[in-house]
Amino acid sequence: MNEILFDGVGHSFGDRPVLRHVDLTLTEQRIGIVGSNGSGKSTLARMINGLVVPTSGHVTVNGLDTARKGRDVRKQVGFVFTDPNHQIVMPTVAEDIEFSLRRSGLGKADRAAKVTSVLERFGLAGHADHPTHHLSGGQKQLLALAAIMVTEPRVLVADEPTTLLDLRNSRLISAVFESLDQQLIVVTHQLELLSSFERVLVIDHGEVVADGLPNESIATYRALVS
């Protein structure tokens, strides 16, 4: 079991506070984060793998401080951005996934086997040699996921991964999430995605204002934005 700990966490961009007084222990397998635009939810999510470090307090992942041990934290925590184009760096699908293994220490044959396996798992086996820029939006998001999951992280954080997708591809990503063994933390406006989650946090004006089961937290969120 993973333990992600926020201890007295605050964060400011210049003079503008974005998060205040965040104390959380995250151990559940499926955790959702919701909030209005500008609420601080994406900043909170990015703290989990050290993309953003606290201005005050500490964030630790399995005992590793994200500010001091960022590289070690990122070996355990994969991060999926809203726009997969921000993560796709190589010209073909297979090459993009193999790029994630460049520091793995694996031999060429082992890297190839891992790439083949993850391509099959994410429904991309028929696209291995296709140019990445020819993929659909849903396929690009699957590729971004596959390129992270091939490294076998313990935690996956996804920041609004379905925002740019149509309904069909949103459901596809949702089904993939349901199949993962990793701890999953998702920031989303797609509230139905969270119905099977164990815990949902509501962030408002930089603070956690609700923390509980999906139906309870989502009811609080709906009341906030009504």
How many domains does one find in the chain?
Answer: 1
Per-residue pLDDT tens over the stretch 140-179: 999 999 999 999 999 999 999 988 888 888 888 888 899 8
Query: Above 90 in pLDDT, residue 220?
Result: yes
Radius of gyration of the chain (CA): 18
Strand order in the sheet with 64-65: 16-26, 4-13, 56-61, 64-65
pLDDT band at residue 104 under the 50/70/90 scheme = confident
| Predicted pLDDT at 170 | 87
Provide the CATH number for the domain around residue 74: 3.40.50.300
Query: Above 90 in pLDDT, residue 130?
Result: yes
Q: What is the mean pLDDT of residues 171-200?
A: 93
| Predicted pLDDT at 128 | 95
pTM (2 decimals)? 0.93
| Predicted pLDDT at 34 | 98
| Predicted pLDDT at 116 | 95
| Boundaries of domain holding 60 | 4-225
